[in-house]
Every structure is written in C-alpha cells, then in structure tokens.
Amino acid sequence: MSTPHTVTPPALDDAPVLAHYVRGGFVESAHRASVVVTSPDGGEHLLALGAVDDPVFPRSSNKPVQTLAMVRAGLRMPPAHLALASASHSGEDFHLAAVREMLASVGLTEGALQNTPDYPVNDEAREAVLRSGGGKLPITQNCSGKHAAMLATCVVNGWDTATYRDPSHPLQVAIAKTLAELTGDEITSTAVDGCGAPVMAVTLAGLARAFGTMASAPAGTHEAEVADAIRANPAYLGGTGRDVTALIEHTPGLIAKDGAESVYAVGLADGRGIALKVADGYPRAKPVILAAVLRHLGVESAALAQLEHSPVLGHGEPVGAIVAVNL
C-alpha cells in the first residue's frame, strides 16, 4: 500500500518547548510551540520562537480575515452578525437565533447550510440537545455563522449557493485574495477544513501581520468595520466562559481568534500582531502560552488570569498546573 505524500511544516518540527504540564512538582509532559509577534508595520519580528515564516493551517483563526473578504465583496450585516461570521461560536441560543437571522436576511433557511453537523460546544447547550433527543445539526456546529455569511455573500453577488464551498467558487477566490493580501503570503496549500470550507495555509508571521493590520485599521475602512464588530460583540465570537471572549472583552482595542489544532491569533490596537501554534495540536497549553506572550509585551488585561488558569488535577483536586516556560 502506498503512503500518501505529506508535508511536515518546520513550525512543528522546529518548535521549542514553551509549556510544561506539571504534576506534584514533576514535569509530566511538555508542549512545543511556535510564536511570533510582528511590529505595527508588519515588517519586523519583535519576537520569533520556532519556524514562524513557514506555512501552517490557521484553521478558524483566519475567520476574521474571511469576514473581511466578504464585507469587501458587498456583505452588509449588523456588527453582531459580523462577529458571528468570524466566530467559532458555542452554539448557545443567542448564537443560533442570530444565524437564522443572517440567513433570513437573504431569504434562506438553515437548510442551505453545508457545514458539518455537530453538537454545540457549550456544555449546557449540548446537554439540552441530548436531553431533548436532538442530534448533530449544521446550525449548532461552531462554524454556522461563517457559513451563513458565506451564503449571504453569494446571494448579494448573484453567485451560486450550492457550490459555495468549492475552492474555485468566486467567494473562495475572493477570500484567498484577501488572505494573501493581508498576510503578505503566497497561498501554496489548500485543504478542506473541519467544517467543510477550504482552509489555506499561511505563515504564523503572516497571520500575525493580518491581525495587527485589522486591529489598527483607520475608522471607516472595511478592516475597522470587522475589528470593531468583534470588539463590540465578543460573546458572539465565542461564548459563555470562553477565553477568547474574555480576552476581547477585557483588553481594550484587542481582537483575537482561536483556532483548531491549537492556533491563536491576536491583533493589538497599536498594530502589533501575535500568532502561535502548539505543535501537537492539543489546546490545553494554548491560552497559557498566549497569556505569557501578552505579559511579555506589557499588555494588561483582567482576562490573563483566566487564560493562565490551567490546573492539573489529581483525585479531583489541583496538584499542579500547566505553566509557560522559555518566554
């Protein structure tokens, strides 16, 4: 049997250890990660650990840039809906209601959604679905806001809605163009994301540049429209108890987006951008490392304590913690 060709980015192989999983004073596990902080003009790496100039899949961290592409293509929605378009939402009632509103605004229903069916991320919402005998649905999956926005963008442009996930569709071509522009990267690899939409590889440095650009964009620009929507509606970007929601809510001027396989991207109001990826894809160290980077940069936020709170349990009691190292 032949083995499929695979590409292993240096961002995985060359990543330094940036977090320890400590139990009873003993380092039980270690997490390697690559991290970059870009300057306000995007031309300099203020911090670079690992291979930050090699491509990775940003996963859902690229959603604000995807939303920007849709706004540039004519999408017009209230700020809360733009935040939801950029979201990996928790599937709470207010998220689902807003997704239905997004679809209804262009004459569609949730039957048009093509994202992968799943249960809500939020524990209470998921348990409510299970208690009612419900199953996995596209609308309760965390990417339904993005897919609703994609469909709406197709409608306002007269593009086919049945094939909107195809990489050659005008919508996806527009997204790829915007992603390449903001990151400064050439898009060399495209695959299918977990939700069914295309995901395009960019460098961590490029992802950081994109977020810095959006976070510091002048008022009246499409970039500022999306960034302001995220800042004003952090609960729509994530949900109850989510660290990304707390980070945006409690850090003036900041925008952020978490992604699967342990990716995080942040833009600061002064134009600095941050992007990180934990090499093993396990998310438990991601917020801890990000909090350490933000402290290193002198960013003050009431949310940092929440990001850092990662106890290691023994018999249900804290016996250690995940801690950032080498930062």
Give the percent of the chain with pLDDT over 90: 96
Q: Where are the domains of the chain?
A: 11-324
CA-based radius of gyration for the chain: 19
* HSE-up (13 A, CA, CB side) for residue 205: 20
* Whether the predicted model's global pTM rises above the 0.85 cut: yes
The CATH number of domain 11-324 is 3.40.710: yes
Contacts of 284 (CB under 8 A, 6+ apart): 21, 31, 310, 322
For the record, the structure tokens of 270 come out as 């002064």
Reported as a pLDDT band with limits 50, 70 and 90, residue 11 is confident
Q: Is 256 helix (H, G, I), strand (E, B) or coil?
A: strand
Question: Hey, what are 11's tokens?
Answer: 């961002």
Is the four-CA dihedral 269, 271, 277, 278 of positive or negative sign?
negative
What's the confidence (pLDDT) of residue 1?
45
Mean pLDDT of 275-289: 97
Give the pLDDT confidence of 225-243 residue by residue, as tens digits. Answer: 999 999 999 999 999 999 9
pLDDT at 5: 67
Q: How far apart are CA 22 and CA 222, in angstroms?
A: 44
Average pLDDT value over all residues in the chain: 97
How buried is 140 (Cβ within 10 angstroms: 0-12 exposed, 13-18 middle, 19+ buried)?
A: buried
